[in-house]
Structure formats: C-alpha cells, structure tokens
Amino acid sequence: MKQVALYYPWIYLRGGAERVILEMVRRSRHSYTVFTNCLDFAQTFPEYRDLPNLVVLEAVPLERSFGRVLRAAATIARQRLDLQGFDALIVASEGLGDFITFRNHSKPVACVCFTPARPVYDPVYRREWLRRHPLARLPLSLFSLVYAWLTRRAWRHYRKVFADSAEVRARILAGRLCPADKIEVLYPGVDVDTIRPTFTHDRYFLYAGRIKWTKNVELAIDAFRIFQAEHRMRDWRLVVAGTVDQASSEYVAWLRARSEPEAVSFIENPTDRELAELYARCCALLFPPLNEDWGMVPLEAMAHGKPVLAVLSGGPAESVVDGETGYLLEPSAAAFAAAMARLAITPALGERLGRKAAERAKCFSWDHFVKRLDDYVEDGATPLDASLVGG
C-alpha cells in the first residue's frame, strides 16, 4: 500500500470535483491524506466527515475577483506540505491548485485535471464571461498573460496529467501547458452498481447540477416555456434541482423571476436521495451548459435510464450518443423544446433511449477510474533522484 497526498484548494460544495476526490479516497487500495485550504462540512458531501486523514491549511479566498484570485494563488504557491512518508502527490486541479507544485515536488507529482482555468483556457467560457463583464476585457487580458506564464512553470513539475475529458485535454494542449505524451484522458464515473434504472416517468423534465450562471440554466427554462406554449403541454413541469452557493443567490433569484411558479419548481441543495428520486421519475434530463468540462450529471441520469438532452459541445459530446442515449442539440431554446416535445408525445421513444442510456452509463465506472490512478501510483510514480529536485 502506498501513501498518497492529495491536494485540492477548497472542499465546500456538493460539486463534481468534491465527488471525484471522495471516490478516489474511498475506493483506492492505497492510503490517501487530503490537504485543502477550505473545508465546509455543512455544505459538502456528508461522507467527508468519515474520512480519516484530512489536513486543513491556511485559508484562501473563495471569491473570484482578480485581486482575490491573486491572493489565493500567492498563498497556495508559498505553502509547503509535510510530504515526509508519502510516496506521491496528486493535485486535483481547476486552475489555482497547480501552484502547490512550486514548493512541493520532492515526491512524484501527478495532476487530475478537471479543467485548466476557464477564463484563460476555455474560449467559450471567456466569451460569455466578457459578455457579462464588458469593462473587464483589459484586466482579464493582463491577468491571463501573468497567469498563463506562472501556470506553465507550475505544470513543469507534473510527471503525468489525467484529463477528465478529451475537451479538457484539448484545452491543455491549446494552452501549451504540457506535452501531449504526458496527458491521458480518464473519465470520472458513476456508481452503476447501486443505481437501478427505471423506464417509466412522471410528467416533468429535470435540470440537475450546480445552479450558477456557467450552467446556462435559463436555456432550460426558456425551452420549457416554448414546449408548454407551442405543444399545449400545460400539465408538464420543469424541476430545477442543484447546489446553490452564496455567490449564485442573485442568479437563482433572476431565474425564479423569469419562471412561472406553477410550472417550474426549484429545489436548492437536494440530498443524494432526493436527487436519485428526481432522476428516477423524470422524463429526461436537460443539460444546457455551453462547453462543460466533462459533466457527471448526464452520466447519473443515463444510469437511471433517462435520456439526456445536452448542448453539442464539451464533455457531453463524449458521453451522450446523439439519437441513441439522448440528443445533442444546438444551444437554442427552440431546439431543446422540439426534442422535449418528441419525448413527451412518444413515450416509447423515451424508453428506448433510456435503455440505451443505462447501458452506455456502464462504460463509465468509478472502479475503472480509481484503478487506473492506483496503478499509476503503484507502477508509474517511481521515486525521484534527490539530486534532481529542489523541494
């Protein structure tokens, strides 16, 4: 058994990154110690309370303003972890976590990359962010230059990078963060062994996942409004269920204001059990993010036997098979509404797609994901020559 240090700056939500880290630690045949700068037991998955080895470091800001991000980066970069007794360090990265490598590369270092920082490396995200913050174009350009320069130097310490999708691998290569031969696509999974698919449904569609502007939830609401109006489906509902953090409260209020309360229900911060029940009874999942890194929510819906209607870009284009397990659509409310009507009018179609979806979900298992990381730690993370490293 190897001793593995795992670093992720903030564990404070019930999000995809927190789920991946939890599964890595719980399923591994090695022993993990998780280092983080922020740990909020009240907001994240309750299973974190059961993890034996959690180390909370100096706090870093959670806000994403330029000044706060630079402050967080400086704090992370100057930290020195106590890696004595560890065989390897794995950094779970969405951007800032990479800076931990500056002072912590005496052990073999690998990266599980959810995405490099999206404002810098994802042109779709960047374009939408600037549309919402038009006065920030120059500050973002200057910030991106400095950030990219620092990030490339931090990435030099990675011996292996596991990208969670081909989309993320493409962002890494476009940003010239590391050579292609260091990158391996490794898809996070779903717990297919414990989910029992159902192929009947109540009269509602489901949006699940974090409720924040990057998820483009308004597209699902606008599509549902067209679906109801043009196809006379007044007895159908849309359920919007997901994690809401403080920074997204205004966005959620805006979504509620553009929704008819009798037609659109909001369930904030549902438990895993509540989400499972919503998956089991919905007609289909609506997944409207414009360029999602990977997307574990579509996998969860497919494992429950539900078709997925997703935007044709990013990770869902790798997990959803168009016309077989759901539909990959242009990011327009009309396109989503038409696909929703097709499923509502033809229940047999939804069942056929759902059965294919349940089979497709089996291709993405947590056991495969964690085993590959375990094999790397055991076979690939060989000790370093002390004369070649500096700290």
Domain with 34 in it: what CATH number? 3.40.50.2000
The verdict on residue 106 lying in a domain is yes
Same domain for 10 and 155?
yes
Residue 386, amino acid = A
Q: How far apart are CA 184 and CA 169, in angstroms?
A: 8
List the structure tokens of 370: 């964690």
Same domain for 184 and 235?
no
- Name the band, by pLDDT with cuts 50, 70 and 90, for residue 387: very low
Total tally of structural domains belonging to the chain: 2
Q: Please report the pLDDT score of residue 390 as a whole number.
A: 37
Whether residue 84 has pLDDT greater than 70: yes
The verdict on residue 389 lying in a domain is no
- Name the band, by pLDDT with cuts 50, 70 and 90, for residue 386: very low
Same domain for 251 and 325?
yes
Q: Please report the pLDDT score of residue 388 as a whole number.
A: 37
Same domain for 279 and 178?
no
C-alpha 64, offset from chain centre: 17
Q: Please report the pLDDT score of residue 287 as a whole number.
A: 98
Per-residue burial over 108-124, b = 16 or more CB atoms within 10 Å of its CB, e = otherwise: bbbbbbbbbbbbbbbeb
What is the percent of the chain where pLDDT is above 70?
97
Alpha helices by DSSP H, 60-135:
66-78, 118-121, 123-132
The verdict on residue 134 lying in a domain is yes
Q: Please report the pLDDT score of residue 381 as a whole number.
A: 66
Q: Mean pLDDT, the chain, as a whole number?
A: 94
- Name the band, by pLDDT with cuts 50, 70 and 90, for residue 177: very high
Residue 5, amino acid = A
Domain that holds residue 36: 3-189+366-382
Same domain for 166 and 305?
no
> How much is the average pLDDT of 62-69?
84
> Residues 293, 194, 41, CA angle at the centre, nearest 5°?
60
Same domain for 261 and 182?
no
Nearest residue to 90 (alpha-carbon basis) of 50, 32, 51, 44: 32
Whether residue 290 has pLDDT greater than 50: yes
Same domain for 245 and 181?
no
Same domain for 222 and 285?
yes
Same domain for 345 and 375?
no
List the structure tokens of 40: 């909020």
> How much is the average pLDDT of 253-270?
95
- Name the band, by pLDDT with cuts 50, 70 and 90, for residue 295: very high
> How much is the average pLDDT of 46-52?
94
The verdict on residue 391 lying in a domain is no
List the structure tokens of 295: 């997307």
For the chain, give me the number of helices (H) and strands (E)?
A: 14, 15
The verdict on residue 331 lying in a domain is yes
Q: Please report the pLDDT score of residue 114 as a whole number.
A: 98
The verdict on residue 196 lying in a domain is no
Could you read off the pLDDT of 183-204 as tens digits, one per residue?
Answer: 999 999 999 999 999 999 999 9
List the structure tokens of 116: 């490099």
Element of type H or E holding 185? strand 183-185
Whether residue 145 has pLDDT greater than 90: yes
Rounded to the nearest 5°, which phi and psi values hold at 278?
-65, -45
- Its pTM surpasses 0.75: yes
The verdict on residue 327 lying in a domain is yes
The verdict on residue 111 lying in a domain is yes
Same domain for 177 and 272?
no
**Contact criterion met (CB below 8 Å) for 111 and 135:** no
Same domain for 160 and 291?
no
List the structure tokens of 225: 């409004």
Q: 54-56 and 109-113: which strand pairing?
A: unpaired
Q: Please report the pLDDT score of residue 391 as a whole number.
A: 36
Same domain for 224 and 130?
no
